[in-house]
Structure 1
Amino acid sequence: MERRSNNLRERMLSLIQGAKFRLMNEKMCKLPIKNIKKNFENNPTDFIEYHDSYKSLQTNWPEKPIDKLIESLKTRSKFKIIADMGCGNAQLAQSLPNKVHSFDLVSHNVNVIACNMSKVPLSAEAIDIVVFCLSLMGTNISPFIIEANRILKIKGLLIISELCNRFFNLRKFLSTMQQLGFQIIKQDKSNDCFWTFEFKKIGNPKPYTTLKLKPFLYKKR
């Protein structure tokens, strides 16, 4: 009886944490990134709660995008330098032998650099692989992709893993990424929750190119 009660309590807590994450995620996807960063800086507990809720939500996923990314990156050269944009608790850096630069809006880990992902403290063409794993927040994500282009070496790799319901039109998304200097080389849409794309840097972004994703909308039950 006690075990059943504990299991029920755990399920209820998981549902509550999942609802918190979805609501916070929906709110953030509708705001400019500078507002999101300011909110987290003024309310650091919100940042902790967001990531705690995110971890709790993932316990119900049959497959986690970060785990797939780690397994994929382990097959590549350990000498490749990686930038993890919106890294959370820096799981990539903790799981790979590579040099990983970990960035997020707020840092609660000595290995994470707090900054806006549209302006990271790295030199141009210094990185082999840039990763955005469920971290493209805000109303306009073009500045993040443009910054990824700046820090990537020519033919460097950009990996984006995002919730599939955030894409307005996949063909338009890929076309806009081309305008931002990236050619699609691989896409994985086998998961019902998130899609993963790999792009190769082929040139500089065209000016005034705008790339947007849908906000993550929480379905009220």
Structure 2
Amino acid sequence: MFAVPGWSLESDALKPQADASKQNQSGATGANGTPQSDSRSMKRKRDDHVTKSNVDAMYRRHIEGLKPTPKGQKQNARGDKKQKKDEKPQGGDAQEKPMSKRQRKKQRKQEQSEQSQEGQGASNEASATDASPVAPPKTEAILTPLQQAMRQKLISSRFRHLNETLYTTPSAKAFELFSSNPELFDEYHAGFARQVKESWPSNPVDGYIKAFRGRGAVVPKKGNRPDKRGPVLALPRRPNGLCTVADLGCGDAQLARALIPSSKKLNLKLLSYDLHAPKDSPITKADISNLPLADGSVDVAVFCLSLMGTNWVSFVEEAWRVLRSDGKGECWVSEVKSRFGKVNRKKAQIGAKKPQQLTKSEKKKLKKIQSGEEEGSDAEDAEVFAEDARPITNDETDISAFVEVFRTRGFALKPESVDMSNKMFVRMEFVKSGTPGKGRHASIAPASSGPGKKRFIDRSASDKGMSAEEEAAVLKPCVYKIR
């Protein structure tokens, strides 16, 4: 149409266009010299039929370039096996007929049956391996820190539930519970040991272990009379020198385990009783309200945080029965301060002198009585004053009702043994002094208290006439707050 510089073509370079159909029929070649085929030859010729069963083999053959498996060797692919079944050799490059709906449905069912058989075989292998005994994995190694913390909370809540059960039920029901479920014993004391380690300033059992080692090393005088060698009082012993100790409500028997190695040297016979007795332990299974012991066969009875049942008063009565009756049988008690009441002081007493605090005139009178310059109205005035002049502490824990229960059951408190220095526990010692005024042993005739009877007389106690319900309520149960 019009010439453009640089774009014009000479007429000699132009060639007439040939008809494509004629060129294909005549076998003409293209511009690049390659032969042109007909329309059917333009399509890629397929020498096989691709199905669901052989698609894996076709992929490996045409895409990955792998050679087909020679004849005589096993076919590795599942699709190759199916291909032999599905394909029929027709010779040459002839294509197979497409499968009908019925054939495809039949083939699909065969594939599903084969897959289900493979799944059953795998499950059978897994069940065979699971049947063999395998050691359980350590939970701490698998759980995350958050899961471990949650697990510890669950264990702690389990311990609190068991602890409340022991405090709020009679010992007979607790005995049945641990008899039917022995594993609860291990769960409870595992939680107890963790609580002692994490939150307690000290364990009262450690103090008793030290006391038995110290007092056990002191040899009494002839005649089996208690003798002081320095500040330590000798343990009560039999004529043969043996001291029988009954740990009532021993838990995991920490007291016995610590003292057994030196029991021969200290001449101690250690008895441990609790609601369950694990294997290879020094524990005897028993309800401590009904001990398998003879009357007067024990020298020292220990209640270390074990006055737990609602019938704890019957524990005290049973301890009186098994202790010796010559005024030397001792009962050691440690309890949680929160179980006792607080000292009730009236408003008029606030700012006044504290209980058991002596004035200057009373102190002078006490010195005169102790020196013999002045005689009191009673021969035991000095001892009464000494009881009233105990070291003053700021602790407001009231143990008077608790001491009263022991007094009516035939025990007398040793005032110098009361220890409230621990912020969580109270420790005290009693002596079997006479006949109980209450309880199941009240009708028994009094036995001779022997020498030293006046030493343990508690004149400050008075008969309050508490009922059985009021006595049981003297020690409050340890119940946790619901959050």
| TM-score, normalised relative to structure 1 | 0.88
Which structure has the larger Rg? 2
Give the structure 2 partner of residue 133 of structure 1.
304
Alignment partners' CA distance in 2, 1:27 and 1:56: 19
Give the structure 2 partner of residue 80 of structure 1.
243
Deviation at 1:205, TM superposition (A): 2.0
More divergent stretch after superposition (166-175 vs 92-101)? 166-175
Question: Residue 107 of structure 1 is aligned with which of 252, 277, 289?
Answer: 277
**Is the 1:21–1:57 Cα contact (8 Å) retained in structure 2?**
no
More divergent stretch after superposition (48-57 vs 14-23)? 14-23
1:197 match: secondary structure: strand
Query: Superposed, which structure 2 residues align to 1:1-12 within 5 Å?
Result: none
Which stretches in structure 1 are left out of the alignment for 5+ residues? none
2:184 paired with 1:46: yes
Deviations 1:126-181 (A, max 9, x none): 11110011111211211111110011113211011111111245211111111111
1:155 match: secondary structure: coil
Alignment partners' CA distance in 2, 1:125 and 1:134: 23
Alignment partners' CA distance in 2, 1:71 and 1:15: 34
Deviation at 1:215, TM superposition (A): 0.7
Alignment partners' CA distance in 2, 1:152 and 1:196: 19
More divergent stretch after superposition (77-86 vs 47-56)? 77-86
Alignment partners' CA distance in 2, 1:15 and 1:160: 31
Deviations 1:25-62 (A, max 9, x none): 12211111111110111111111101111011110222
Alignment partners' CA distance in 2, 1:11 and 1:156: 47
Aligned residues: percent identity?
35
Higher strand share: 1
Alignment partners' CA distance in 1, 2:302 and 2:151: 30
2:336 paired with 1:198: no
Instruction: Sort the Cα spacing of 1:162 and 1:6 in 2 relative to 1 into closer, same or farther, 3 A.
Output: farther
Give the structure 1 partner of residue 319 of structure 2.
148
Alignment partners' CA distance in 1, 2:153 and 2:337: 21
Instruction: Sort the Cα spacing of 1:71 and 1:13 in 2 relative to 1 into closer, same or farther, 3 A.
Output: farther
2:272 match: secondary structure: strand
Alignment partners' CA distance in 1, 2:213 and 2:146: 37
Deviation at 1:68, TM superposition (A): 1.2
Give the structure 1 partner of residue 208 of structure 2.
69
More divergent stretch after superposition (17-26 vs 194-203)? 17-26
Question: Residue 163 of structure 1 is aligned with which of 300, 311, 336?
Answer: 336
Instruction: Sort the Cα spacing of 1:127 and 1:6 in 2 relative to 1 into closer, same or farther, 3 A.
Output: farther
Give the structure 1 partner of residue 413 of structure 2.
184
- Give me the CA root mean square deviation: 2.3
Instruction: Sort the Cα spacing of 1:201 and 1:9 in 2 relative to 1 into closer, same or farther, 3 A.
Output: farther
Alignment partners' CA distance in 2, 1:195 and 1:10: 35
Give the structure 1 partner of residue 193 of structure 2.
55
Which stretches in structure 2 are left out of the alignment for 5+ residues? 1-142, 218-241, 342-397, 440-466
2:243 match: secondary structure: coil
Instruction: Sort the Cα spacing of 1:152 and 1:6 in 2 relative to 1 into closer, same or farther, 3 A.
Output: farther
Alignment partners' CA distance in 2, 1:195 and 1:20: 27
Alignment partners' CA distance in 1, 2:214 and 2:158: 35
Alignment partners' CA distance in 1, 2:246 and 2:337: 23
2:476 maps to amino acid: K
Alignment partners' CA distance in 1, 2:292 and 2:402: 27
Instruction: Sort the Cα spacing of 1:183 and 1:46 in 2 relative to 1 into closer, same or farther, 3 A.
Output: same
2:407 match: secondary structure: helix
Give the structure 2 partner of residue 215 of structure 1.
477
The count of corresponding residues between Structure 1 and Structure 2 is: 217
Alignment partners' CA distance in 2, 1:6 and 1:130: 46
**Is the 1:184–1:199 Cα contact (8 Å) retained in structure 2?**
yes
2:329 maps to amino acid: G
**Is the 1:14–1:56 Cα contact (8 Å) retained in structure 2?**
no
1:150 maps to amino acid: R
**Is the 1:104–1:113 Cα contact (8 Å) retained in structure 2?**
yes
**Higher normalized contact order (CA 8 Å, seq sep 6+, divided by chain length):** 1
Deviation at 1:13, TM superposition (A): 6.2
Give the structure 2 partner of residue 91 of structure 1.
254
Deviation at 1:16, TM superposition (A): 5.0
| TM-score, normalised relative to structure 2 | 0.42
